[in-house]
Structure 1
Amino acid sequence: MQSELAFSADDLALTRFTVSPMWEVITSFRLLASGTAHPVHRPWLEQVRPRVAAAGLDHGSLGRLITPSGHIPDFLTPPADDPAPDLATELAAVRATPADQVDADLDLLRRSGLHHPTLDDRLDGLCEEIQAYWDLALAPYWAKIRALLDADVFHRARQVAERGTGHLFNELHSTLSWDDNTLRLVRRQCVISRESAGPGLLLVPSAFAEHVYTWSRPPESPQLAYPARGTGTLWEHRPVARAEAIAAVLGRSRTLLLTELAAPASTTDLARRTGISAAGVSQHLTALRDAGMVSAHRAGRSVLYARTAIAESFLGTTA
């Protein structure tokens, strides 16, 4: 099966990128739901899967909407006007979905034979689940994920500037090809064409997508979510550059804690791994948090601390 999306000059002018938290919610939750030990995302899965199960999020409305395969309701990924909307903005758009659109999406799930929630609470309960999932599974890692997605967009924009849009589309994914002002998508379950889509195209890189996803709901621009480049290095623990120089500024204990936060961890975990007392770890983390270098995220009864984008850049781990 093949889809063909023709482009006019106006369509090319309306083609743009966005970094979407909701697309990361969907693709990461689908990966969790698959139950597999993914070779790239194994470190993330091993940390997140127990938290999500303990919170019961794998058996809620989100779990019934996002299954290991098959259709994903369009209302979960509303198009964004902002090139980098935050989750709150996207959840507000989800909540604002007209009831008839929600019903149509759920009817499509019903016809596919998949179980679905009734969503009698007008999407509020679902959005609360999405927020809870985000807090547990993605927020502590967002600095790393966002850096990867931003780097992908920068690379693609440079491709367009240096070699043109055709080169961009031909390099985006093996199932995509560009020829004669037409983007062709092979092996697609859902056919998309310019006649059934709005103008332009919204390109969405994803750290967790394993293939290309399409979204079409006229008169909005169609969306194409694709696997971001460089995902294979996302969970690698890179050495901290200039550690001695950084320790001279921050102190050895705080530099050590930041080094240990290559993956999110609790105060107890950090105390056990570093030999610093729990009280000392807490004191240092408070100072680092006040400086904008770590963030705190509740996971059940624990609080996970994570390095922020500021810390990642300062430590030289995002290069």
Structure 2
Amino acid sequence: MITIELGLDDLAATSFAYSATMEAGMSLRMWTHASAYAEHIPLFSRMRPAFERLDTVLLTSLVGATRWIPDFLTPRPTTPWPDFRRELAVLRATPPEQVWPELERTFLPIEGAVPERLTGAREDPERLLADIADTLEAYWETCLLPEWWPRAKSLLEADLVHRARVLAERGAAALFAELSNRLSWDGRRLVIRWDNEPVPGAPSYDVDAAGQGLLLIPTCFSHGALSVITPAGPPWIAYQARGVATLAERVEPPPAGPALERLLGLPRARLLLMLDQPVSTTELARLLAVTPGAVSQHLKVLSDAGLTARARHGRSVLYVRSPLGNSLAGMSPGMSPGVSQTAASAGQSGEATAEDDAA
């Protein structure tokens, strides 16, 4: 169990970010525990030939039997607009004296020993850290960046817009309740409880945010709230992003009713029904198997008619139905049976396991 003490100033400073390096590190679970993340299997199966040309022993050694990974693989994001190379530089700058203790805390409680491929960190942590960073960079460039990351990035950005809206409209209690059933909030303490306590070796500590705020981080590779194995620095909590199931394959757009189709035309009517959650032009183009330019033209018409609203996240612009668009679609806000709502539900349907406890 992890308890985070949050004062009013910490709640006011609660922020959101996602991390390319964290996703790379967490994605290594796919090569050791793929069945736990079935929604990713189609994409990762296509990556396998590229993955097998890398130092797979090193990469898979970083994931424990409980799916925990060392804390230094998940440095706390410092910006909501991640840049993999900048984040990797933070990983490379990990103090050498931190590496071996973190490996021990990751592996000893369950495995009883640090994997052989990582034992060099006891004598030469700098060299092992450099090897890990170099191999992780190659993994990012050859496996994740070409196809998986553009999809994941769009999904994570949409999640941040949604969570920020929940916090602004309904407050912290509603936000925490929606993030994970592992979280409980009493107005002062935010508690992460594991699914089946006691979990051998699971992190257990109390931390006082002490004016440092709280960072909330969506990830594609968790079934519940998690944090670092050992507290260090300002607190953060990672949680499962909405709509992870949409990463697997193209989802059929929802059918448009005859009246809406006659009014807007079939492409724009179906597009409007897909905008029940914030989504980027690129992601809409992928779901519809058309060009981003074609989507942009239709979105401009819908926007000029006041049927859509836009939310900016960094350099990305996300689109969602406006209240007028919701009325025209004949649906209440957030209750559409459209693509993103259905996929979000599918992505969160699995129960968390006792193993998926810490980064």
Tell me the TM-score normalized by structure 2.
0.62
- Structure 2 SS opposite 1:40: helix
- Displacement of 1:131 in angstroms is 0.8
Select 1:118's aligned residue among 117, 120, 131: 120
Q: In 2, are the aligned partners of 1:198 and 1:216 still within 8 Å (CA)?
A: no
Check if 1:211 corresponds to 2:217: no
Please tell me whether residue 231 in structure 1 is matched to residue 244 in structure 2.
yes
Is 1:66–2:73 an aligned residue pair?
no
Query: What is the match of residue 88 of structure 1?
Result: 85
Which residue in 2 is equivalent to 1:102?
99
Distance 1:122 1:63 in 2: 14
Residues 97-120 of structure 1 show CA distances to partners (whole Å, capped at 9, x for unaligned) of 111111321232463323134243
- Aligned-residue identity in percent: 34
Query: 1:132-187, CA deviations, whole angstroms, 9 ceiling, x for partnerless residues?
Result: 11123210221111010001010000001100011100110111122232212111
User: 1:45 aligns to what SS in structure 2?
Assistant: helix
Q: Residue 33 of structure 2 contacts residue 67 of structure 2 at CA under 8 Å; is this kept in 1?
A: no
Contact 1:19 1:83 in 2 (8 A): yes
- Aligned-partner residue type, residue 120 of structure 2: T
Q: Is contact 1:33-1:58 (8 Å) kept?
A: no
Alpha-carbon distance, 1:214 to partner = 0.7
Q: Per the alignment, do residues 30 and 64 of structure 1 end up closer, same or farther by CA in structure 2, a change over 3 Å counting?
A: same
Counterpart residue identity of residue 12, structure 1: L
Deviation at 1:73, TM superposition (A): 1.4
CA contact (8 A) 2:207 2:231 kept: no
Contact in 2 for aligned 1:65/1:117 (Cα 8 Å): no
* Structure 2 partner of 1:138: 144
* Cross-structure match for 1:57: 55
Structure 2 letter corresponding to 1:139: L
1:217/1:111 Cα in 2 relative to 1: closer, same or farther (>3 Å)?
A: closer
Partner letter of residue 53 of structure 2? A
Would the aligned equivalents of 2:17 and 2:80 in 1 still touch at CA under 8 Å?
Answer: yes
For the aligned residue pairs, the C-alpha RMSD in angstroms reads: 3.3
Contact 1:199 1:219 in 2 (8 A): no
How many Å apart are 1:236 and its aligned residue? 2.7
**Aligned counterparts of 1:99 and 1:198: Cα–Cα separation in 2:** 29
Q: Does the C-alpha gap of structure 1 residues 157 and 35 become closer, same or farther in structure 2, counting only changes over 3 Å?
A: closer
Q: Distance in 2 between matches of 1:81 and 1:215?
A: 16
Q: Report SS of the residue matched to 2:168.
A: helix
Gaps of at least 5 residues in structure 2 are 254-265, 269-281, 288-314, 320-338, 342-359
| Aligned mate of 2:74, from 42, 58, 77 | 77
- Compared CA separation, residues 71 and 238, structure 1 to 2 (3 A): closer
SS across alignment from 2:39: coil
Q: Is 2:15–2:214's contact at 8 Å kept on the other side of the alignment?
A: yes
Q: Hey, what's the Cα distance between the residues in 1 that align with 2:161 and 2:80? A: 12
SS of residue matched to 1:204? strand
Task: Structure 1 unaligned segments of length 5 or more: list them.
Answer: 244-257, 264-308
Aligned in 2, Cα 1:100/1:28: closer, same or farther, shift over 3 Å?
same
CA–CA distance in structure 2, aligned partners of residues 74 and 198 of structure 1: 23
- Number of positions where the alignment pairs a residue of Structure 1 with one of Structure 2: 252
CA distance in 2, matches of 1:216, 1:110: 11
Q: Paired residue for 2:158?
A: 151
Q: 2:10 touches 2:210 (CA, 8 Å); kept in 1?
A: no
Higher mean displacement: 147-156 or 115-124: 115-124
Q: 1:47: how far off?
A: 1.1
Going from structure 1 to structure 2, the CA distance change for 1:45 and 1:9 (only over 3 Å counts) comes to same
Q: State the one-letter code of the partner of 1:145.
A: A
Query: Deviation digits for residues 281-312 of structure 1, max 9, x if unmatched?
Result: xxxxxxxxxxxxxxxxxxxxxxxxxxxx99x9
> Structure 2 counterpart of 1:26, which letter?
G
Once the two structures are TM-superposed, the CA of residue 239 in structure 1 deviates from its matched residue by: 6.2
Q: Take 1:191 and 1:167, find their aligned partners in 2: how far apart are those partners?
A: 25
Partner residue, 1:270: none
TM-score, normalised with respect to structure 1:
0.69
Letter in 2 for 1:193: D
Question: Could you say which residue in structure 1 is the equivalent of 2:291?
Answer: none
Question: For the structure 1 residues 216 and 21, does the alpha-carbon distance in structure 2 shift closer, same or farther, using more than 3 Å as the test?
Answer: same
Amino acid of the residue matched to residue 158 of structure 2? A
